Structures are given as C-alpha cells and as structure tokens.
Amino acid sequence: MNTTLGAVTTALSKGSLAAFASGVLASDPEVRRLLDDEVARQRTTIQLIASENFTSEAVMAASASVLTNKYAEGYPGKRYYGGNAVADRVEDLARSRAASLFGAEHANVQPHAGAPANLAAYMALVEPGDTILAMRLDQGGHLTHGSPVSVTGKTYRFVAYGVTPARQDGSGERIDLDLVRDLARRERPQLIVAGTTAYSRIIDPVPFREIADEVGARFMFDAAHPAGLIAAGEHPSPVGVADIVTFTTHKTLRGPRGGAILARADLARAVDAAVFPGLQGGPLEHVIAAKAVAFGEAALPEFKDYAKQVRANAAALAAALSDEGFRIVAGGTDNHLMLVDLRDFDADLTGKTAQDTLDRAGITCNRNQIPDDPRPPFVTSGLRLGTAAETTAGMREPEMATVALLIKRVLRDRENEDALVAIRQEVRELCAAFDPYPGSDPGPLGNPGPGDPGPLGASGPGDLRPGDGLPK
C-alpha cells in the first residue's frame, strides 16, 4: 500500500500521465494498456464532440485522489458518517467557488451528472404529473427535457416548443419565442425550461423569464453546454434570471465529469433535499474536489481568453464548412457548437455513415438530428461539431479551415480506402502539433494495443508505434 501511494505521489508531482499509468497500474497491465490506448486515441485524433473537453492534469489528479475512499452522505456539517472534516472543507470550497464564479446565492455540487441535476431541479420545483414546457428533442432539446424513454417523461407532463422554419438566408431555425408564449398561455405549465443540447445560437434568458412570470410558472435554465461560456462572460448569464440553473462541469467548463445546481437562497433547502436524500446517496467527494479545481481554473483571466477563442474557432469552422458545401443549421453559430446538415453536400450521406467514416479517419464527432429531420435518431441527416476540446489543445482559426477541408475530403472519398489512410496520417500529424498533454512521455502512452485504432479504425499494430505521430 505504501509503495502504491508513493507511486501516486511521484506520478502526480511529475504531472505525467505516463508516470501515473506506469506507477499506479503496474499491478494491472491489462487496465493500464487500455488507458494507454485511450490516451493515444485522444492525442492522435481530432476531438469535435461538443460535450467533451480536455481537463487539466490538476483536475485528473483530484479525481484520482484519496477522497474516493470517503463516504460522506449528507452535506458539510450534517453528515451521516464520521471522519468528514476534510471532505466538508473540500465541498464547502467547491460550493463557494461555484457560487462566486457564477454570481449565485447557492450552489449544490453533488449531482453526478447533468441528468440527475435536471431531475433534482424538477423535484425541487414541481410535483409529479405537473406540466413542464421544454425544448423538443429533435430540435435541440435533451433527453431529460421530456423524452418518453427518460424518467422525466414518465414522471411529468411535458409540452414541447421548437425552432422557427429554416430560411434561405440562414435567419431561421431559432427558438420560436412566439410559440413558447402561445404554448405557455394555453397549457399553463408549472415550469418552463430553457437550454439545449444541440443549438448553435445564444439563448437569452430574459424573454423566458417574462413568459414564465406572465403565466405564473417557475423558470429553469439548463446550462449544461454553455456553462464555461457563461462563466467567462461569453454568453448571457441566466443566474439571477432563472429560479434554478443546472449545468455540467465537463463540457465548456473543462472540468471533471459531473453536474451542479445554482439556485436562489430561498430554494436552497428544496434543491439540497432533492439531491440528497431525494435522488442520490453518498456524493463523489474526489470528483467534487476536481470540480473545485475546475471552478478555480475558470475564474482565472486566461479562461476568459480560452472561452472567447472557443467561440471564434466555432465561427471559423462553421464558415469553412459552409464554404466546402455543407449547410450549417441556423446559418452559423454564436457558441461552441454547430449542427451540420449533410444533405446539401450529399443527399445520400447519413449522419451515421459520416460519423463512422470520420472516426475511421481520426476525426471524432457525433451524428445528430437536424430540425425536421426525415431520418430517425439513430441514422440522422446531420452532425454536431464542437470546438471546446481542440481549442484547449491550442488550435486556432487556421486549423479550423484545415479541419473543415479534412472533413470534406473524408466524406467525399469515403469509399476510397487509400485516401482515408492518407488523411488519417495527416490527422495524426496535425494532432502532433496540438497535443493536449504535451508534457507527457509518449513512450508507454504511444504503444498500440488490441483496442488501438488502426489506419481505418481497425485494431492492430499498423497504426501507432511507440512515439509515432507524437511530439519528438
């Protein structure tokens, strides 16, 4: 045990992913190999999934800390277990940093993810069977905004609003506030939810507040995607406008995987009771420590520069893709993501085929329905792309133009294996210049393994050799 703890301390002091893998997982080479493979994948492929990012090594170190050993049901000062003096201080630090970062009166940092944060917010604000007005899933909403396969759709009565029709000049496909108002007046919901998972324009919380006040509804803002932009002043803040704001810590906020809730002081007790004991048991204090680190990082001046660049990169990527023949839903982007309608580029190309082909060439993204998509959710006519991760890695506007061209070439030549092999090598070389963890030893982390993607996504040693495609 002492040897293992010494290895952890040495690895974290060096700040090296390779040292961490070598020291801590020496006793389990199978798991170590899998983690090595994943590090190699992240460092040699372009990450365009809008809900992902590269955390700092400090965030990962906190996530891997000894706080994983501590059970801490309850809240600071009111635990059901002893030995929580340090855990209390950690959670208080995370709560105070979150509240300060967003200017909130109260913060709950225990939700394990965005979905339980949303469910806890509903539990705090409405009763089972009440009516909630939220965004349509096939036009940008989230599963927890009333999907019939989600517990939220089984527990509450959801009514859905959507976006305006597409227009030739790109001014359509915006949230239809007239429809929101009409539905609110007709359905008299107890709660109105703003926030999306696939919407590229700014969401102003004020009109939603005005509509909610008109019909006597509560107002909740799901800020899972723009949380980092909000913290940096690059998106209007719903804090102080909405009754409750939920968000995730792992997207634009660049923290560990997790969720949080911000609320007015008068709703603090209801929110806390909804999270525990209403929904969750013991909190993940090691993740809460990592959240505290992330909140601290997001309060630094350089994070504002980062968030501004995320938006600039998204705008550049959207414009470059448009130039390459793709239609960008809503005519562009104001935030970190965009929806790409593939039909103008190739009417026969589905989102599923595009995602799978891009993955084989080393470009990671996800298929996504577009508004009024004629194809089912598992197939789709679109892609969702985001720039938060590659902005962290150091890419700027010129690289966005390069990425757009790579995407075009992959999808145009998707039946040409030789072309895809060549593009995979170009992707590897581009990623070598923008390594998210440049201080790490590429040795063990660059070794190929059974799960490592080959030139076209197949397993085998033909793709990565020790150090291949990584900084020398």
Which residues does the annotation mark as catalytic?
71, 73, 222, 248, 251, 257
Question: What is the DSSP secondary-structure string of 272-301?
Answer: HHHHTTTT-SS--HHHHHHHHHHHHHHTSH
The two tokens of residue 309 are 């660049």
Antiparallel, parallel or unpaired: β 131-135 and 157-161:
parallel
Q: How far apart are CA 463 and CA 472, in angstroms?
A: 17
Residues 257, 59, 233: CA angle, nearest 5 degrees: 75
The DSSP secondary-structure symbol of 139 reads G
Contacts of residue 50, defined as CB under 8 A and 6 or more positions apart, other chains included, come to: 198, 225, 251, 336, 337, 366, 384, 385, 386, 388
- What residues are paired with 260 via a beta bridge? 247
Task: Report d(CA 385, CA 340) in Å as an integer.
Answer: 8
Contacts of 12 (CB under 8 A, 6+ apart): 20, 61, 64
